[in-house]
Amino acid sequence: MTSQQSAAPLGGRYKQGVPAIDLFIERGTERVPCDHRYHVVERGAVIASFSTLRAARRQYQERLLAANYTPTPAEPISAEERLRKENLERDLLRSASYWAESYRYGGGGGKLRHR
């Protein structure tokens, strides 16, 4: 995936963008002023600043469409690799389910637990 995104609590850092074309929405990072606003940054220059993320995303989407960027398609995964990953996920879910339902690891209880 070519998009980076990190959400932060109110007043924190925020960065979302496409590194391939150097287009980002940033807040509280090294490249933008620390004024608690969302900045649309293109090729290292601040294009616009907004007080809300919604407004910044509108400008970001307009710039993204204007750049006519299409991400490179992901490499296809072979059927064997997909099956291996599915088996691994299934085994992890079985293990988690076993330990969650196991009476010994359920928590609580005491001396009179099994009476």
pLDDT tens-place string over residues 31-58: 999 899 999 999 999 999 999 999 999 9
| Strand order from edge to edge, sheet including 23-27 | 4-6, 14-18, 23-27, 38-42, 45-50
Q: What is the pLDDT of residue 10?
A: 57
The DSSP symbol for 20 reads G
Q: Would you say residue 5 has pLDDT above 60?
A: no
Sign of CA dihedral 59, 63, 66, 69: negative
Q: How far is residue 107's CA from residue 3's CA, in Å, rounded to a whole number? A: 41
* pTM metric for this prediction: 0.58
Residue located via tokens 């809300």 = 52
